[in-house]
Each structure stands twice: as structure tokens, then as C-alpha cells.
Amino acid sequence: MADALRAIAASGSNPYGHSRDMIQAAITALMDACAAAGTIRTDITPTDMGAALEGIALTSPGPEHRDRAERLLDLTLDGLKARASSASIAG
């Protein structure tokens, strides 16, 4: 395991890049299917959703923050739901 980690570090590449790509592809596939079904807003991109999820993870790093993470995820998913008009809400 140590040799594998050293090889990754020596390569200078991002060891998490592939995982990030896989997660983004999954988010994209889910959002595309939901948008086609009319259940989510179409003005939110998969990149936006990924950034929101990353923000939740960064602000709720440990088990002691689980309740906050769940509230933030609920808030994010509620905001993603399709409305009568999917136009941005402006005051």
C-alpha cells in the first residue's frame, strides 16, 4: 500500500480526480433523468449540485455535525424540486 501511495504522490497527479469524475458523472445522470421526468429544476447544473454537496461536506465534517448535514441536504434537495415555473426566484 505504501508503494502505491508513493507512486501516486510521485506522479504529481490528483489522486482524487478519478473519484471526483465518477461522482460528477453520477450526479449528472441522476439530474438528467430527473429533469427529463420534470421533477427537478432545469436551471441548476450538475456542477452546481456538486458544489452544494461539497459545501455540506466541508461545513459538516464529523459525526457531531450529522444533524446539520441532514438539514442542509434537505434544504438543498427541497430547493432542487421543480416548481410551477422553473425560472430563478428574484425579489
The domain locations on the chain are 2-80
Looking at residue 37, what DSSP letter applies? H
Among 23-27, 45-49, 65-69, 87-91, which stretch is predicted with the lowest mean pLDDT? 87-91
Q: Which residue has the higher pLDDT, 5 or 62?
A: 62
**pLDDT for the residue 86:** 44
CATH architecture, domain 2-80: Orthogonal Bundle (1.10)
**pLDDT for the residue 85:** 62
Strands (E), 1-91: none
Q: What percent of the chain shows pLDDT beyond 90? A: 64
